[in-house]
Amino acid sequence: MIQSVRTVEDYLLHLKSKGFQLREDAIGFIYFGQQYTNSTDELTNTAIEITLKAQKGFDGSFYISLLETFASNKIYSRKAALQYVKKIELLAV
C-alpha cells in the first residue's frame, strides 16, 4: 500500500526492497506508459500496484489499458482510481 505520493522511481525502489523484482524491460514500459498517458506519479504508482495485485505480476498491456482507462474516465487520484476498480469489480480493494 502506498502511504504517500512518491515518485515512480521511489515506488519501484520500494517494491524492490520488499523483494519484488521487475525486469528492466518492465521498468522501461512503466515509464513509457506514464509518458504515453501523461499520468502523474501518483496515478502511475497506483496503476502499478493494481496491475501487480490483479495479474499477480507485471503485465504491460494490462497496465497500459488501466492508465488509458483512468485517463478516459478523468481519474486523476489514487483514491478515485481505487474507487473505480472497486466499482467495476476489478479488485476487491
d(CA 77, CA 80): 5
22-50, pLDDT tens digit by residue? 999 999 999 999 999 999 999 999 999 99
Mean pLDDT, rounded, of the chain: 92
Burial label, 25 (beta-carbon count in 10 A; 0-12, 13-18, 19+): exposed
Which of these, 55, 67, 74, lies nearest to 31 by C-alpha position? 67
pTM value? 0.90
